[in-house]
Amino acid sequence: MMERAMEQLNVQLNRLTRSLRRARTVELPEDNETAVYTLMPMVMADQHRSVSELLLNSKFDVNYAFGRVKRSLLHIAANCGSVECLVLLLKRGANPNYQDISGCTPLHLAARNGQKKCMGKLLEYNADVNICNNEGLTAIHWLAVNGRTELLHDLVQHVSNVDVEDAMGQTALHVACQNGHKTTVLCLLDSGADINRPNVSGATPLYFACSHGQRDTAQILLSRGAKYLADKNGITPLDLCVQGGYGETCEILIQHHTRLFQTLIQMTQNDDIKENMLRQVLEHVSQQSDSHYQRILTSLGEVATTNGHKLLSLSSNYEAQMKSLLRIVRIFCHVFRLGPSSPNNGNDMGYNGNKTPRSQVFKPLELLWHSLDEWLVLISTELDRNRKNPSSSSSSSEIASLLFKQRESDHSAATPKLPSLLDHHIVMEAETYADGEDVISMTANRLSAVIQAFYMCCSSQMPQGMTSPRFIEFVCKHDEVLKCFVNRNPKIIFNHFHFLLECPELMSRFMHIIKGQPFKDRSEWFYEHLLASQPDSDMVHRPVSESDILLIHRDSIFRSSCEMVSKSTNEKLKQGIAVRFHGEEGMGQGVVREWFDILSNEIINPDYALFTQSADGTTFQPNSNSSVNPDHLNYFRFAGQILGLALYHRQLVNIYFTRSFYKHILGIPVNYQDVSSIDPEYAKNLQWILDNDISDLGLELTFSVETDVFGAMEEVPLKPGGISILVTQDNKAEYVQLVTELRMTRAIQPQINAFLRGFHTFIPPSLIQLFDEYELELLLSGMPEIDVQDWCRNTEYTSGYDPQEPVIQWFWEVVKSLTQEERVLLLQFVTGSSRVPHGGFAYLMGGSGLQKFTVAAVPYTSNLLPTSSTCINMLKLPEYPSKEVLKDRLLVALHCGSYGYTMA
Amino acid sequence: MAECSASLNGQQHEQADGETCTDFLFKFLVIGSAGTGKSCLLHQFIENKFKQDSNHTIGVEFGSRVVNVGGKTVKLQIWDTAGQERFRSVTRSYYRGAAGALLVYDITSRETYNALTNWLTDARTLASPNIVIILCGNKKDLDADREVTFLEASRFAQENELMFLETSALTGENVEEGFLKCARTILNKIDSGELDPERMGSGIQYGDASLRQLRQPRGTTTQNKQQCNC
């Protein structure tokens, strides 16, 4: 009894010491749930001695499943690679095929985690390799997903069916291909996996390899004879490669199935395929060899020609065919510009003549250009014929319709018919002429799109920025037809004649038509092209990096802005501007707007002496004496940059320039009326000379002026030898022009040039040309809100008008009915500026102080248009007989006003 | 089991792609004087309908149809040209690279028959010299107003090595036959090696379904390829 008690005590003591020494319990708790959580950490750490000890005398069920996913300790051991514990558990009768809640066996977990030894032991204990989990995945699927080839190699020998499918019908080969595990794929194939096995949606291993651009895997499959099969929706491996932009995989597909080359080319016609992906693929394939390059381009040329011809078929869908043609040609030009892969051909730019092999690729397109040419010749003949029978087309068709009507009534009245022969003849003739009209209107859009394609091809053979002589020749040849197109449908310019923006020599031919288009259309076109050079125009909202933020000091805004802008690059500034004021948190569009606003005000700060106020005090132009500031030309360049940058980013600036300076920005010559903005008295004198016969006045003027150069009067000739050339009635116009240029341009030429250098870094001169000086003001400074009531209240009337006069009543009714844009035009027309002064029309300034808006009467003669004197804010309004005539004439003057101005 | 599902899949692929799956693409022209019914022939061939209010064709119109000839699917890309003289230079620019042509005259108009020689010269000089031409005497339904006899025209066809048919775009008689006969002749010439689809400007292209041939052991084309590689 005593002995037993002693023994028990000993055991307990022993247990206590062991427990204390090992810092854990040495006896497994009775219930499985508590016991398993005691064992789990030991199994994870593969503490097999402890586990063995604990299990030794316990009644613990080794197959006890626990936790959320109901795994056994064997699962844990297999998962963690605790091979000793695993063996221990197996020896103690753990079921190697026990499945957890997701159907996974310990073998699945070991396979997933690549536990080689565990797998070996599990197999030794007869683990079933063919068990599927709930998703149908087997151990070999798991090995294949992760590319564990070595393990797979061992395991696959035990597998009864290497093509075992998961719930989606996917085999191990599918998943290995998708993930691009080359050796795994080879191993599975060597083990007899079905290379063409489709899954439930019909996707084969090759399909999977292509969907993820697994080039090497695709190569293996194809060289092992994989078939090229589409899935159940008809999507092919090639489709997948193109969708993903996998050029290398495409190349492999084409190597094995040469016909896929044509399919790839045909894809350029498919609107659903992303152009940049397809381009990427074709780009890659073209770089494989010279012959690939030649073949791709030749085939693209053929497809483009067919599409172009379809576009010229009047029953085809214009939108779709046009887009298709332009897309193919864009891709063509892109690939062409890349050049062939071999460097010895790379130097040849192809514009040295048509004999080089590289330009041979344009040959298929020649068919299309030939058709285009023939079409334009045909239309020119139609035009000629219509011209030779002026109005006959309309009159004869009128006659025809009259005859028709007459015949109808004749018929009903049963009176004798007209001789049917004549009748028929006239109808026929009318039809042909009507046809002629139709041909032009029906084909203009289509032909213009082909012209656009032609230009793209011509340009791709030229160095950047040069217009192909062939294209220039083409435009000159068909000048008349092209002008006819755009006259009838000016939208064509904006839709297809982008070439005009790139070649000034052609632009001038169409300028008058372009200028006649609404301001809105032109500014859209302007921005479209301004931003087109931006590579990632769709990536506007990139995060800005800290180093790209312009950090500006408010107290030295001009200087610090100048420093920051000159430190940055033009490219960065084009991509986006981020401004932060020193010591302030704020950033974003609001701050940028504020910066432009304050900075533009600062640029005209008289302290810098860069700009001077004009006579009316609200507009500015370069100061001819700005050289007091030795760095002035750099500052002018900076001012130009800021204005250009503001325009580029559609930010408005708070500066209004003189009409003449806007003209300088546009490169339009100034005229004597512009002088009034800087010297109204002098302008009146010039006007007087022009208006009066100066023959007998004895002015004794010569082509020279006296100017004050640093305090000394100096005689400056207006032209070579001008000092001895007398101004006469005959040459007075030239004198006025030259003296105007001297005052307005030559005096500030260096400043203008410096300003333009800055401006043109952001705004190409060819683009800004689209606007006149009035519109440029609107672009730079925005469209002001105009309060018509305030305007009306602050208007004076002279030369016989008074507010009660019907003409004046009509005038204000018309003004109220105008659009905002037209009102601004009216304001610009009369005051020379779109600006409404702060405080409203009451504060409108003229050449000599406050000068209210004034309407003056002019005797009415037919077709007389309103005119204005901008320096005294006077509208000279003829006494129109009706409101309708008034409105009509006013609108004509507004829309053509600026035009007439430059020509005056 | 695996074999079975793969071939099943292959069939489904063919069905899914339907008529866009073609072995060849032939470029065809329809030429002839104004008012002979070229556009109506094309319309009848493509839509199986007669076009009542037919206007003069302006320039060149386009139509296509996939046909089955001798076990092959062929897409016919048909360019229907204007017959009016004023479009002559434009339509001529479409001739290059045509594999086949329907040369159309009106059996009720001697004038259109007399113009055939000119059209024929154009086709033979501007299109491929190997162009396969079928002569179509259209408006067969207006037999009462006939100005050109069948015998006369068939003699002309024989002398100029043309195939010949009398057609009616109104009733549809022989319209399909005209196009198919032409296509069949071209296929025969490809088989006999007289025409080489691989050559540029032949007016023949392989269609997207030609892959099916590749899956099977290839015959002549493989040999050609190997020769090319030498």
**Inter-chain CB proximity B62 and A228 less than 8 Å:** no
User: What is the band of B207 on the pLDDT scale with cuts at 50, 70, 90?
Assistant: low
Q: Is the pTM of this model over 0.90?
A: no
pLDDT > 70: what percent of chain A? Answer: 89
Name chain B contacts of A435, Cβ cutoff 8 Å: 56, 58
Count residue pairs from A and B with Cβ separation < 8 A: 101
Q: Distance (Å) from the C-alpha of residue A232 to the closest C-alpha of chain B?
A: 6
Instruction: List the structure tokens of A486.
Output: 């755009």
Contact between residue A482 and residue A380 where contact means Cβ atoms under 8 Å apart: no
A254 vs A709, more confident: A254
Q: Which residue of A has its CA nearest to B90?
A: A374
A531 vs A277, more confident: A277
B35 in A contact zone (CB under 8 Å): no
How many whole angstroms separate alpha carbon A163 and alpha carbon A150?
A: 18
> In this complex, which of A196, A266, A364 lies closest to B6 when CB atoms are compared?
A196
Q: Which residue of B has its CA nearest to A432?
A: B56
The amino acid occupying position A323 is K
The pLDDT of residue A566 is 87
Assess: ipTM above 0.95.
Answer: no
Question: Does the pLDDT at position B17 exceed 70?
Answer: no
Mean pLDDT of B42-57: 89
**Inter-chain CB proximity B62 and A232 less than 8 Å:** no
B87 in A contact zone (CB under 8 Å): yes
**Inter-chain CB proximity B214 and A266 less than 8 Å:** no
**Inter-chain CB proximity B200 and A442 less than 8 Å:** no
The amino acid occupying position A294 is Q
Q: Distance between terminal CA atoms of chain B? A: 42
The pLDDT of residue A627 is 85
**Inter-chain CB proximity A234 and B17 less than 8 Å:** yes
Q: Distance (Å) from the C-alpha of residue B176 to the closest C-alpha of chain A?
A: 22
When mean pLDDT is compared over A5-14, A142-151, A537-546, the highest value belongs to: A142-151
The pLDDT of residue A402 is 42
Question: Which of A25-34, A622-631, A877-886 is the least confident region?
Answer: A25-34
Confirm whether A871 is a catalytic residue.
yes
A601 vs A482, more confident: A482
**Inter-chain CB proximity A262 and B206 less than 8 Å:** yes
Instruction: List the structure tokens of A661.
Output: 């300076």
Name chain B contacts of A257, Cβ cutoff 8 Å: 211, 214
Name chain A contacts of B77, Cβ cutoff 8 Å: 306
**Inter-chain CB proximity B13 and A163 less than 8 Å:** no
Question: Does the pLDDT at position B226 exceed 60?
Answer: no
Question: Does the pLDDT at position A405 exceed 70?
Answer: no
C-alpha angle with apex A669: A668 to A671, nearest 5 degrees? Answer: 130
Q: Which residue of B has its CA nearest to A370?
A: B93
The pLDDT of residue B21 is 67
The pLDDT of residue A709 is 64
A846 vs A505, more confident: A505
Helix (H) or strand (E) holding A306: helix A290-311
**Inter-chain CB proximity A367 and B90 less than 8 Å:** no
The pLDDT of residue B1 is 35
Classify strands B72-81 and B163-166 as parallel, antiparallel or unpaired: unpaired
**Inter-chain CB proximity A309 and B97 less than 8 Å:** no
What is the helix, strand, coil percentage profile of chain B, to 5?
Answer: 45, 20, 35
CB-facing half-sphere around the CA of A618: CA atoms within 13 A: 21
Spatial CA neighbour of A172 closest among A128, A111, A222: A111
How many whole angstroms separate alpha carbon A289 and alpha carbon B34?
A: 49
Question: Does the pLDDT at position B16 exceed 70?
Answer: no
Question: Does the pLDDT at position B7 exceed 70?
Answer: no
Helix (H) or strand (E) holding A846: strand A845-846
Name chain A contacts of B14, Cβ cutoff 8 Å: none
A392 vs A598, more confident: A598
Question: For residue A764, which phi and psi values (nearest 5 degrees)?
Answer: -65, 140
The pLDDT of residue B13 is 34
B225 in A contact zone (CB under 8 Å): yes
Instruction: List the structure tokens of A711.
Output: 């305090």
Mean pLDDT of A559-583: 87
The pLDDT of residue A715 is 83
C-alpha angle with apex A370: A368 to A375, nearest 5 degrees? Answer: 95
Helix (H) or strand (E) holding B105: strand B100-106
Q: Which residue of B has its CA nearest to A440?
A: B58
Mean pLDDT of B97-107: 94
Helix (H) or strand (E) holding A222: helix A215-223
Domain ranges of chain B: 24-211
Spatial CA neighbour of A322 closest among A439, A447, A481: A447
B93 in A contact zone (CB under 8 Å): yes
How many whole angstroms separate alpha carbon A508 and alpha carbon A511?
A: 5
User: What is the band of A767 on the pLDDT scale with cuts at 50, 70, 90?
Assistant: confident
Name chain A contacts of B62, Cβ cutoff 8 Å: 309-310, 313, 315-316
Question: Which of A35-49, A279-293, A686-700, B116-130 is the least confident region?
Answer: A686-700
**Inter-chain CB proximity A315 and B2 less than 8 Å:** no
User: What is the band of A865 on the pLDDT scale with cuts at 50, 70, 90?
Assistant: confident
The 3-class SS string of A722-786 reads HHHCECCCCCHHHHHHHHHHHHHCHHHHHHHHHHHHHHHCCCCHHHHCCCCHHHHHHHHHCCCCC
Question: Does the pLDDT at position A421 exceed 70?
Answer: no
Name chain A contacts of B211, Cβ cutoff 8 Å: 228, 257, 259-260, 263
**Inter-chain CB proximity A313 and B62 less than 8 Å:** yes
For an interface test with A, which of B4, B8, B9 has the most A Cβ atoms less than 10 Å from its Cβ?
Answer: B9
Name chain A contacts of B56, Cβ cutoff 8 Å: 435
Residue A495, beta-bridge partner list: none
Helices (H), chain B: 2-17, 38-47, 88-92, 110-114, 116-126, 150-159, 175-191, 211-215, 220-229
The amino acid occupying position B8 is L
B58 in A contact zone (CB under 8 Å): yes
Question: Does the pLDDT at position A433 exceed 90?
Answer: no
Helix (H) or strand (E) holding A307: helix A290-311
How many whole angstroms separate alpha carbon A20 and alpha carbon A785?
A: 90
Q: Enumerate residues 5 to 34 of chain B having a beta carbon within 8 A of any beta carbon in chain A.
A: 5-6, 9-10, 12-13, 16-17
Q: What is the mean pLDDT of chain A?
A: 84
Contact between residue B166 and residue B103 where contact means Cβ atoms under 8 Å apart: no
B210 in A contact zone (CB under 8 Å): yes
**Inter-chain CB proximity B16 and A232 less than 8 Å:** yes
Helices (H), A389-490: 392-413, 420-460, 469-477, 479-488
Name chain A contacts of B208, Cβ cutoff 8 Å: 259, 262-263, 266
Name chain B contacts of A442, Cβ cutoff 8 Å: 58
Name chain A contacts of B94, Cβ cutoff 8 Å: 309, 371
> Beta-carbon neighbour count of residue A613 at 10 Å?
15
The amino acid occupying position A586 is G
Question: Does the pLDDT at position A345 exceed 80?
Answer: no
Catalytic residue of the set A80, A503, A871, A896: A871
Question: Which of A875-879, B107-111, B216-220 is the least confident region?
Answer: B216-220
Inter-residue long-range contacts of A572-576, CB under 8 Å, 24+ positions, other chains counted: A572/A548, A573/A645, A573/A762, A574/A534, A574/A648, A574/A762, A575/A534, A575/A536, A575/A542, A576/A540, A576/A542, A576/A544, A576/A649
Q: What is the mean pLDDT of chain B?
A: 81
Q: At A530, is the secondary structure helix, strand, or coil?
A: helix
**Inter-chain CB proximity B2 and A262 less than 8 Å:** no
How many whole angstroms separate alpha carbon A315 and alpha carbon A450?
A: 16
Name chain B contacts of A313, Cβ cutoff 8 Å: 59-62
Q: Which residue of A has its CA nearest to B89?
A: A374
The pLDDT of residue A596 is 87
**Inter-chain CB proximity B93 and A370 less than 8 Å:** yes
Question: Does the pLDDT at position B99 exceed 50?
Answer: yes
C-alpha angle with apex A149: A143 to A152, nearest 5 degrees? Answer: 55
Spatial CA neighbour of A124 closest among A137, A103, A143, A107: A107
Mean pLDDT of A350-363: 63
**Inter-chain CB proximity A230 and B17 less than 8 Å:** yes
Question: Does the pLDDT at position A397 exceed 50?
Answer: no
Q: Which residue of A has its CA nearest to B82?
A: A313
**Inter-chain CB proximity B59 and A313 less than 8 Å:** yes
When mean pLDDT is compared over A232-246, A647-661, A667-681, the highest value belongs to: A232-246
User: What is the band of A412 on the pLDDT scale with cuts at 50, 70, 90?
Assistant: very low
Q: How many helices (H) and strands (E) does chain B have?
A: 9, 7
B65-86: per-residue pLDDT in tens? 999 998 889 999 999 999 999 8
Q: Is CATH 3.40.640.10 correct for B24-211?
A: no
Residue A376, beta-bridge partner list: none
When mean pLDDT is compared over A178-187, A337-346, A537-546, A727-736, the highest value belongs to: A178-187
For an interface test with A, which of B62, B204, B213 has the most A Cβ atoms less than 10 Å from its Cβ?
Answer: B62
Question: Does the pLDDT at position A568 exceed 80?
Answer: yes
B110 in A contact zone (CB under 8 Å): no
DSSP A448: H
Instruction: List the structure tokens of A136.
Output: 């149908």
B125 in A contact zone (CB under 8 Å): no
Mean pLDDT of A18-28: 72
C-alpha angle with apex A9: A8 to A12, nearest 5 degrees? Answer: 90
Question: Which of A7-11, A95-99, A415-419, A900-904 is the least confident region?
Answer: A900-904
- Kindly provide the b/e burial profile for residues A835-851, where b requires at least 16 CB atoms within 10 angstroms of the residue's own CB: bbbeeebeebbbbeeeb
User: What is the band of A70 on the pLDDT scale with cuts at 50, 70, 90?
Assistant: very high
B145-197: per-residue pLDDT in tens? 999 999 999 999 999 999 999 999 999 999 999 999 999 999 999 888 888 77
What is the helix, strand, coil percentage profile of chain A, to 5?
Answer: 60, 5, 35
* Per-residue CA distances from A273 to A243, A266, A267, A276, A287 (Å): 7, 11, 7, 9, 21
The pLDDT of residue B149 is 95
